[in-house]
Structure 1
Amino acid sequence: MKQFFKIASLGAQRKFLQGLAGILFFFCMLWSTTIYFYQKNRLQEEAFRRTELVMAAVNANRAYIQDILRPRMYGLLGQDDFILEAMSTSFASRVIMEKFKEEIPNITYRRVAVNAMNPGFEADKQELEMIQYFNENPDEESWQGIREVGGERYYVRFSPVHYDTSCLRCHGKPEDAPVKILELYGEKNGFHMKTDQINSVVSVGIRVEEGLRRIGKFALSVFGTVFMSFFFLYAIIAFSFNILIVQNIRALLEIFRHNLTDHKGVLLYQQAQHMDEISELHTTTTLLAQHLQENRRKLEDYAENLEIKVEERTKALQKSQDLLHQQILSQGQELTTLNIIAELITQSVDLLSILPKVLRQTLKVIPAKGAGIYLFRADRQGLFLQCQDNAPELDDRFSCELASPQIPADMGKNTPPVSTICETGFDELNFFTTDLAEQKLLNIPLRCRNRLLGVMTLTDYNCNENDPKHRELLLSIGRQVGITMESLQNMASLIQGKDLLQSVFDAIADLVVLISPDDYLHMVNKAFLTRYRFSPEMILGRRIENLAQEYPTPFMLFSQISFIKLQEPVSDCKRLADGQFFETHYYPAFDDQGALKNIVCYAKDITIQKQVEHQMQQTEKLVALGHLAAGIAHEINNPLGIILCYTDLLKEDLAQSPDKLKDLDIIEKHAKNCQHIVHDLLSFSRNQQTTRTLGQINTAIEQVASMVSSQLAKQRITMTLNLDADIPLFEVDMEKMKQVFMNLIMNAAQAIGGKGENGKIKIRSRYLALNGQAEISVFDNGQGIAPEIQDKIFEPFFTTKGPKEGTGLGLSLSYGIVHDHGGEINVHSTIGEETVFTILIPLHGA
């Protein structure tokens, strides 16, 4: 029935409906296109009328200025003076149109020229084309049409600007131009114009983008409405044509399609594949007439020879049935043997354990006493016996080269086994007789893809050597065994290759994973498993995007690049939530057809490198700022000294004026404050001498804590010390280190602010014996430091305190002192919870 419907769909109904659909679609397109162009022409006519009015108004203004106002102004002012706003037609028309555009923004006006006096009104590419057009067509007074301006469509009308003699007063020779013009625009642009040449155009544009869009939508809606109307009309005609005509013809033809054949035995439906129903009906009538004539002749013949034909037909049917039964039994056993040999590949990957099973299964269908299998070793140029079943007379090995030998036409008797086995390597079945009790032997080549893998030798073989079907069965067994052997060898090679690839992956110390284009993990190296404490079963086959949501892996960028077709390596640098930096690389791997097969993802931990880079940048920044601060301090210090000197003098002169003395005290106070800041700047910028002596870090901490304890008590801040008694003597400048501790404690106290009794400062010292360093940490539970400014707090003058609470140099000085001792200072802060400054000082300094 599927064939029937396929034939019917190619018939007269399809031709009729295709023609009808084409006609209706043509008229639908014609209707909507006509409406579209009609509406578009109306829009252009309306736009033309509006541009004509605008152009007339502009020309009237220009004529008034050129013919009346400008000569009058020359008469009043003289020939060398020029008022741009009143005497320039270009300037006045542009200003008038700008005011006009404020009221009607959809209208644009431009007056441009080649080599314009004002560079802002130089002609663009489109306007240069129109200037060239008017020069080539001097009789044309305007050009109008729709053009795209700034990404939107405008109805634009261009008119040429003709220079007359009065225009050349300003645009002719520079020496003739008014002095005011030369002062405004210079002598380079806007001169040497000619009355017989067009160098300027005026354009008026009306935005028609919205109108054209509405016309398009209207035409599209008309097309949709007409199309739906025609579609319903088409459906009604198609339904009526199918019911009234096609179904009746098909019902008539269905009676004959699967029953009538021509004289060659070809069915009617096969002949009618490229016919429509009318042609098929004609063919059916012709065949029916031929069949009636042929059947009449056969009936006459059968009537005369009926009994003889029945007997012959019965014997032939019985013989065919018996032969078919025997073939089915034989082929079933052969297929079972081939299937069992093929299934052996699923039972083991060890070739030597499978070969004995192959021999036993082969001997069940081949009439032979015993058998053995030789495997070819190319490196040793020979065949070696791997196993045998009831064939002890077979030799263990044969040395032979697989160069094509001459195969005798008749092997005869007493043929050497080595000769026949070597000939088997060239896809030949060898039947031969040996000297051992004249038993018959058979060699079957074991081949796969034209490559010799071995030979199966059968002993005491007893079967018809010339039976083509039997020979094909033997070769099929050999090919199936060869396929099984190669599959096992390939599987072993794949396992070996996978183990080798995994060992290469595992040898890489950085993180390496293999990901499919659809985001699934195929392979990971040992470093990845060790770092995240995974087992292969936990992650292989999982999506890397889901894994990145659970664990901070550096391959989070893959969720972004997996949406695009990766064609070249991609690199990225990621900072994980735990603060570690990873440099990641993604390398695409393609198959032979160029399709993306896998993506190798490589990640290197560069956290230490980033920290070193940050410290180097910070140090370079502090050095540069130190030089700047030194210069500024020296420039400010001298004026401050003079101010203080004159302040002292004024105090002596104004000793009898207490009010003025108070003002001088304020001046002196702020001047000294400035001197203090300058002193800090100089201390920061100078590489002061560091005097290192052996001293106890804990003692310095205790002395500083004692100095500030009373002040902290007034602020109701609790300070606790947790000092490691095992810290040895360190070689440091104790006074400078006290300054560092003092800065950190005072910063902590100011950060705690108004917490009152809840304010806590904890100072802890530890000796890191393995690194030979002392670690001093200052904790406070203040307001914390925002992450975005943590990298800036060691910069000079950077402070979050109020104007009178500090200069912003304390941490910068501390940073310089610690680094001068070869140490490090770091900060870790959580907003609203805790801030920790950590100092690392080496035992013997820098």
Structure 2
Amino acid sequence: MKKIKFIFKNLSLSTKFTLYLLFVITLFCFLFSTIIYYFLKNQAMEEARREAELLITQIDALGDYVKEELRPSLFRFFKESNIKEDFILEAMSTTHIRTKVMRRFKTKFVDYDYRRVSLKPINPQHLPNDFERKILKNFMQNPEIKRWENIVDFNKDKYLVVIKPIHVEKECLVCHGKTKDAPKSLLKIYPRKEDFHWKVGDLMGLEAIYVPLERWLLEIKHIAITTFISGMLTVILLLITIEGVFWTIVGKPIKKLTVHFRNIISGNVPLSQRLEVERGDEIGELLQSFNQLANHLFEAQEAIKTYAQTLQTIFNHITDPLALVNLNCKVEVSNRAYQEWISQKKGPVFNTECDPLKADQNKTCPIALIRRVIETQQPVSEYISSTEGGYYYTHLYPVFDQTGKVIKVVHYVEDVTEKKKIEEQMAITEKLAAIGQLAAGIAHEINNPLGGIILCLNNILKTSMDEKTKNQHIELINQGLSRIQNIIKVLLDFSRTTELNLRVCEIKDLIENVLKLINYYLKEKNIKLKIELEQKLSPVYLDSNKIEQVLLNLILNAVDAMENSEEKVLTIKVYHKDGKMFIEVSDTGSGIPPHVAEKVFDPFFTTKPLGKGTGLGLFISKSIVEQHGGKIWFTTSEKGTTFVVEIPLEGRRIHEG
């Protein structure tokens, strides 16, 4: 079946048209011949019924004549003429006369037959056969049936059989009643000793006409077959003519169009070459439309070539590495920068095939990032550092197929080594700016113990005292020096320039270290401090020095925001949620205006007076938090502003640098 479908699909249009037409007309001829056959068959059946009805009517008329006229006349004649004969079979028996007449009828119409039978006939030859017994039984069981008619097969021939039941009438009992009443002449011919026990109205027998149908049915079949064959021969001649006309008008120009199209595909003919149009009909319009389409495609092809060259030029002149990578980590398309990085073995680029699904998804490498893109179906961007001291910001964007499945990724890499160095320098600058703001507070913190130390030294040098008092003064000097040393240590730790040093830290300790630097400043500004720490805070893996810098920047900004507030409350809140730690720094200032809110994280943007701020604090804080795999954002209103720092506790990805 599949082979037939394949062959049919590859046939020419004219052949398909001819085959379709042949099928339709053949089906039409078949249906038409079948209709003719059944119509003629019904007509023949009606004709057979009419003939059977004529025969039955004629035979019944003959029987009625014998029964009503001839037989009574002979009985009177025998009686008036004193003739001893009382019954003449050939003249007085309706059954005998009907049978003899039909025998003479059959000499010309051999296939016709007439049967008059009874279950108890006078003449034994009139006993019913098996078929007639069944009909008699049916008449007995269904006395309301007055006539039975059907088509029956006898000796491989078909007959229309019409059967009528014979019921006992009063006149019938003369011959078919008691033996003593029966004509003597009849008893001599058909002797019997027993009486018939018929009563008027009893089913006595049946009368059947057999009309042959085989000859008519054969003629009807011959007519139907002849009609079908004649129709098919006419159809074949018609199809040959139609095929020739169709090929000339439709097939030939379409074949020309097909050959021209194949030559274009194979490259033997340019797309710009036009077909000659010599007709104004639909085929001519088709050829003209093809020429217009080919011209449009030619122009589009040339435009695509130009665009492709332009895009390739732009692609190659992108200074950052850019490539299309499949899921086996194989680079399919790349620009010059990417190819140079591969040859130089520089940065996080793909240079060998691999299986991303086998990579450790907790690692920060291009292969693991592909796995994350496949699993999340979202773009991924990460900072990656190299052993040579380089820093790279790598981006992977998914490419989907029609079903929404990731099939490739676009890989884009930024070399941010210089940017990182600049950020570190800016961080140092911001630290120095913060230290400048804290200078007065730090001086006060150092000046208090220093005054005590000087006083104790003067007492020791200028006053006579016992050993115990002297030791007490020395202990006070020691305590003051330790306090100064602690303040200087915290200051040095804060201002020290270091790489990202990740270690397990207690967030409570970080907050206390920052407050050691800021306590005097808060008191001087009349700031009320509220600390809200969750009872069981988990240790966090981070760079304590840089997070302290973030906290200090946020606190200083909060203090500045409350400069003109009546109620000055600084709130520091720390809690856990969904595997992350959240640090909130809130103030009771007037909030951040909308035009300022969208720029607060921009570098060098500040609303502070000239010389008081660098505009780098929040920018650097955001950078530090993102390096720790976290986020920073804020909410603001007329009642104050809250900055939120989010740092992952587990399953996080920490970026070095």
Fold shared by both chains (TM-score > 0.5): no
TM-score normalised over the length of structure 1 = 0.28
Larger gyration radius, structure 1 or structure 2 = 2
